[in-house]
Amino acid sequence: MRKQNGFTLIELVVVIVILGILAATAAPKFMDLQKDARISAANGLAGAIKSSISMTYSKAILAGKDKAASGSYVCNSGAATAECTSSSADAVELAYGRPAATAKGIINAVDIDAEAKPSGTTASTKEWNYSIFAASGENPAGIGIWQVGSAEVTSASVGCGVYYEASASATAAPKVTVLTTGC
């Protein structure tokens, strides 16, 4: 009998078929990693926004600024709330004691690296973009925030990010919606 020194063609074909089956079942799990990462980033931002709402509301109550519809500010830093004005770098604009749906409001409260949506072909230099929306039709007034590279938030229900609606009254809490269409 001769001693066999290699693999037969049939053995090689069987191994290739098995590897192909494994690749076909494992590949879809890794295909959506980018989508999952964008959704996770949006969920993380929503959590940060909710925490910021609570902290800002606590500061507003302590400063006696929790009843005004607008025009009040608290500081995001450890500075005394009485010293904070609209021109302070860390000022958080309030709507009934909670962050307003503006750059000086929720963007400052969360303290994220964000800029207004760049126009035309201008590339964003920040990690996050935002657009402020006036109430129109079924779209409530608010601010849409999305990660650079994700689908832009174009309304309260379309995009890949977070849509924030400020408090409409002293008893109404702000609304934070995580959007995943287009992620």
pLDDT band at 139 (very low <50, low <70, confident <90, very high): confident
Find all residues with CB under 8 Å of 179, minimum gap 6, and list them. Answer: 42, 144, 153, 157, 158, 159, 160, 161, 162, 163
Count Cα atoms within 13 angstroms, Cβ side, for 42: 30
Residue 177 in contact with residue 158, Cβ under 8 Å? no
pLDDT tens per residue, range 38-72: 999 999 999 999 999 999 999 889 888 888 888 88
Q: Is the pTM of this model over 0.75?
A: yes
Q: pLDDT tens digit string along 145-161?
A: 999 888 899 999 999 99
Mean pLDDT calculated for residue range 4-11? 81
Cα separation of 176 and 183, whole Å? 18
